[in-house]
Amino acid sequence: MSMVRFLVGLMFFAVSAVAHAQQTGGTLVIVPGYGEVKQANDEARATLMIEEQDKDKAAAASRVNLKMKQGTDIVRKEDPQAVLKTRGYYTYPVYADDPVQPRQTNRVRQPVSWRVGQYLEVTTPNLASLPKTISAAQRILALNSLHFGLTESTSKKLEEQRIAAAYRNLTDRIAAVAKAMGRNPSDAAIETVDFEASGAYAQDTAPAAKAMRAPMEVMQVEEPSFEPGETTLGMRVVGKVRFR
């Protein structure tokens, strides 16, 4: 008697499964996926700067030009692999802090001095000598910002791994969805795969450089310590799956 009940229950389960599969036949399912790879950073982008202030605008500009040339020559000597780019040359007046009297609102204020500065962007894959290079440059220039990332060649090499990881995650999710619907993963036919550039590999825009006084004296600077860290490259993918 128990065997009969078992067979009846088995038949009922089989019929229910077939009915459920028929109900989900032709269903279109949108399945998202995501994959990522991690890689140690192999490139540094440092921003060095110089700023001078003087009552004579020409004198301030002359010192900035001289020190920037000296600092650039130091970086080139310490790291021949570095790619250099000068940017952000600025000149603006500095006024006294004395308040303007109410009856003198139309008075043209005269600057008490001039502030002149310039930035030098250094991009290099030579991380081993980076502390030594920055230390040497800091004898004249100031370190304004430092960011680590991946070289273009490394990013290209990781592209295939990033795509494969995203697609593998998508197929795993499709199998999980099929199981939840009581279907066989082989019943799922992928109609569309949309690889979406998520932008996760792009480095954040560097913050705007803040003006700061550079040291007036040339002196020996101890080497700084840097930890390049790693970068995570991610990719999103969306699949349209139809069950037979």
Q: Output 173 or 213, whichever has higher pLDDT.
A: 173
Asked if residue 127 and residue 37 are part of one domain, the reply reads no
The per-residue pLDDT for 218 is 47
Map residue 208 onto helix, strand or coil. Answer: coil
- The pLDDT of residue 226 is above 80: no
DSSP label of 112: S
Q: How far apart are CA 127 and CA 227, in angstroms?
A: 9
Q: Please provide the DSSP assignment of 147-193 as one string.
A: EEE--HHHHHHHHHHHHHHHHHHHHHHHHHHHHHTT--GGGEEEEEE
Structural domain that includes position 194? 26-42+150-204+229-244
Residue 190 maps to a domain: yes
CA 14 to chain centre: 53
- The pLDDT of residue 98 is above 70: no
Residue 157 maps to a domain: yes
Q: How far apart are CA 37 and CA 11, in angstroms?
A: 47
Q: How far apart are CA 96 and CA 112, in angstroms?
A: 6
| pLDDT 10s digits, 138-175 | 999 999 999 999 999 998 889 888 888 988 988 888 88
The per-residue pLDDT for 230 is 76
How large a percentage of the chain has pLDDT more than 90? 40
The per-residue pLDDT for 95 is 92
Report yes or no: 42 and 126 within 8 Å, Cβ to Cβ.
Answer: no
The per-residue pLDDT for 194 is 83
The per-residue pLDDT for 71 is 95
Asked if residue 173 and residue 237 are part of one domain, the reply reads yes
- The pLDDT of residue 18 is above 80: no
16-53 residues labelled b (16+ CB within 10 A) or e (exposed): eeeeebeeeeeeebebebbbbbebebbbbbbbbbbbbb
The per-residue pLDDT for 10 is 40
Asked if residue 195 and residue 127 are part of one domain, the reply reads no
CATH of the domain at 87: 3.30.70.2970
Q: How far apart are CA 18 and CA 22, in angstroms?
A: 6
Report yes or no: 21 and 234 within 8 Å, Cβ to Cβ.
Answer: no
Q: Output 178 or 15, whichever has higher pLDDT.
A: 178
- The pLDDT of residue 56 is above 80: yes
- The pLDDT of residue 186 is above 60: yes
Asked if residue 144 and residue 193 are part of one domain, the reply reads no
The per-residue pLDDT for 231 is 79
Report yes or no: 176 and 50 within 8 Å, Cβ to Cβ.
Answer: no
Asked if residue 120 and residue 79 are part of one domain, the reply reads yes
Average pLDDT, the chain: 78
Asked if residue 164 and residue 116 are part of one domain, the reply reads no
Q: How far apart are CA 47 and CA 64, in angstroms?
A: 16
Q: Which pLDDT band, with edges at 50, 70 and 90, does 97 fall under?
A: confident
Give the pLDDT mean for 46-74. 95
| pLDDT 10s digits, 108-124 | 778 899 999 999 999 99
